[in-house]
Structure 1
Amino acid sequence: MRVRAVCAAGVLLVCAGCASGGERWVELNGERYTVEIADDDAERARGLMFRDHLDAQRGMLFIHEREEPQAYWMKNTRIPLDILYFDSQRRLVKQQREVPPCSAGDACPSYPSGAPARYVLELNAGQAAKLKLQDGAVLRFGPGIEE
């Protein structure tokens, strides 16, 4: 009887681990997006560079250690994006919509947050308009995304 209890507990632990290891997502204005996470300097620097396509309902969430003014650019980015800046409470503080690709290297312009931000969400261009986003909208994190 005791062996069964241990095995059952082991199965539960394995299943719980599987549930948290799935795709990570965020929700914005009732719409869910599967996201890749960029939470270290190397991942943030590479971002969505050199990609020819970003599937619908997908994006990249950049997580910074602290809330401060941010500026992103489109160096070596081949697809137009919406760049959305959120503060520590996950409230939208700035939208950079329909940002075009840039192949001009270090001459690519930057797109500032205009206010302190901790989280940056990049989505396919046009998503902010589709969602009718307004500053103050709240970004909700799914399981497995650490703040």
Structure 2
Amino acid sequence: MKKYFVAGFIVITFVTIWFYTRHPLGMKAIINGQPIRLELALTSSEKERGLGYRDALASDSGMLFVYQNKDRYGFWMKGMRFPLDFIWIDGNRVVELSEHIAAPATDASRPVEVSPHVPVDKILEVNADVIQKLGVRVGDIIQFID
């Protein structure tokens, strides 16, 4: 009996891990009716690494950086291997857009830096051209869903 319990527990554990690696729990953002799956950058180390050193980002995904206080947070493209769009957010409102920020050349001594002109408390990084494809404009409201 104990053997079946252990075997069943192992099977359930593997199925659960398999399922959640393919369907992770997380937030979504709705922008102009289109869902974007979000990876959250909440800790200092998550914010520092960001999307750096990855080869790609899924076309329906983005990384959301969340801050407690509003400020003009600067981002650098260190370790980036693909271009990004930045959606600068105050509360739930888009306040600024930075489009098609190129990944630095591999021999660049100083990475590209980007920052907003106004204070924000959230920054959404998405693949380059997502702003244009979704028709994102300053003043748009982003709905965040758990």
Shorter chain as denominator, the TM-score bin is 0.7 to 0.9
Q: Residue 84 of structure 1 contacts residue 96 of structure 1 at CA under 8 Å; is this kept in 2?
A: yes
Distance in 2 of aligned mates of 1:107 and 1:42: 20
For residue 59 of structure 1, the aligned residue among 59, 62, 75 is 62
Counting aligned pairs with the same residue, the percent is: 28
Matches within 5 A, 1:1-147: 22-87=25-90, 89-102=91-104, 103=106, 107-143=110-146
> What secondary structure is seen at the aligned counterpart in 2 of 1:42?
helix
- Cα deviations by residue, 1:11-66 (Å, 9 ceiling, x for unpaired): xxxxxxxxxx8232111111101111001111000000001111110110000111
Q: Residue 30 of structure 2 contacts residue 143 of structure 2 at CA under 8 Å; is this kept in 1?
A: yes
> Offset of 1:134 from its aligned partner?
1.1
Distance in 1 of aligned mates of 2:119 and 2:40: 20
TM-score (norm 1): 0.78
When the two chains are superposed, the root-mean-square deviation of aligned CA atoms in Å is: 1.7
> Offset of 1:132 from its aligned partner?
1.6
Distance in 2 of aligned mates of 1:70 and 1:106: 22
Q: Residue 75 of structure 1 contacts residue 106 of structure 1 at CA under 8 Å; is this kept in 2?
A: no
> What secondary structure is seen at the aligned counterpart in 1 of 2:74?
strand
Unaligned runs of 5+ in 2: 1-23
TM-score (norm 2): 0.78
Q: Residue 55 of structure 2 contacts residue 82 of structure 2 at CA under 8 Å; is this kept in 1?
A: yes
Q: Residue 68 of structure 1 contacts residue 116 of structure 1 at CA under 8 Å; is this kept in 2?
A: yes
Q: Residue 103 of structure 2 contacts residue 112 of structure 2 at CA under 8 Å; is this kept in 1?
A: no
